[in-house]
């Protein structure tokens, strides 16, 4: 009888440890991404034919390989010798930073290391858009223009160039999703000041647009 009571206490203590132990569920400081699989997916013309917006997403997390391919397609390095990217940037300023908002935290995509770097732990997905699906989908990308990378450029010109660069990244992500069977939609209906504050952005950083990505609703 004593041994049964002891076992019960041990089990209860373990359950309390799990419930009170944030370290077990903490967002990782860095997520190393696998190399993109360049020999997979649809041919370009077929991906273009399937490119579409969807606002219905399954809640399950994206596979690490999909996360890697998506981010590389949007803003990855495709010419290692020069460090140049899959999307154009005026004078190669690289003024757009891509953030990945996952269920466990806000991450910055580090193209040079092909990795996600934790910026802030916690679930910020609901802040990335006013649509309800943004809070439930596994991933929201946020495209941020950093005016610190455009010194000497008049602000309207920098904004125009940044919008073009972000648009190219968004379309690259769309084509990856079409090729990989993922659902996505680009969105501008965001409380940008509130999201910028939550992300800890500086006064010379500006949110341009967000993009939700996930498996299509109903997928297993």
Query: What is the C-alpha to C-alpha distance for residues 211 and 96, in angstroms, rounded to an integer?
Result: 14
Instruction: Provide CATH code, domain 28-214.
Output: 3.40.109.10
Going residue by residue through the chain (220 aa), what tens digit of pLDDT does each one get? 444 443 333 333 343 333 333 333 578 999 999 999 999 999 999 999 999 999 999 999 999 999 999 999 999 999 999 999 999 999 999 999 999 999 999 999 999 999 999 999 999 999 999 999 999 999 999 999 999 999 999 999 999 999 999 999 999 999 999 999 999 999 999 999 999 999 999 999 999 999 999 999 988 6
Query: What is the C-alpha to C-alpha distance for residues 36 and 75, in angstroms, rounded to an integer?
Result: 12
User: Domain-by-domain residue ranges, the chain?
Assistant: 28-214
């Amino acid at each position: 009888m004593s041994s049964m009571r002891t076992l019960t206490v041990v089990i209860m203590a373990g359950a309390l440890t799990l419930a009170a132990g944030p370290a077990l569920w903490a967002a990782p400081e860095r997520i190393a991404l696998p190399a993109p699989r360049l020999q997979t997916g649809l041919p370009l013309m077929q991906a273009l034919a399937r490119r579409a917006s969807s606002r219905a997403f399954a809640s399950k997390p994206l596979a690490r390989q999909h996360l890697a391919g998506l981010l590389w397609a949007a803003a990855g390095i495709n010419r290692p010798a020069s460090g140049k990217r899959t999307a154009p940037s005026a004078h190669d300023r690289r003024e757009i930073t891509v953030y990945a908002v996952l269920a466990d935290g806000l991450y910055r995509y580090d193209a040079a290391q092909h990795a996600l770097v934790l910026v802030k732990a916690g679930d910020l997905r609901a802040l990335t858009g006013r649509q309800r699906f943004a809070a439930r989908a596994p991933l929201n990308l946020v495209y941020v223009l950093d005016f610190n990378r455009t010194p000497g450029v008049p602000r309207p010109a920098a904004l125009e160039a940044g919008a073009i660069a972000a648009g190219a990244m968004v379309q690259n992500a769309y084509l990856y999703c079409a090729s990989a069977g993922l659902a996505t939609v680009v969105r501008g209906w965001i409380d940008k000041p509130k999201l910028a504050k939550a992300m800890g952005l500086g006064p010379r950083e500006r949110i341009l647009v967000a993009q939700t990505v996930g498996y299509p609703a109903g997928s297993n």
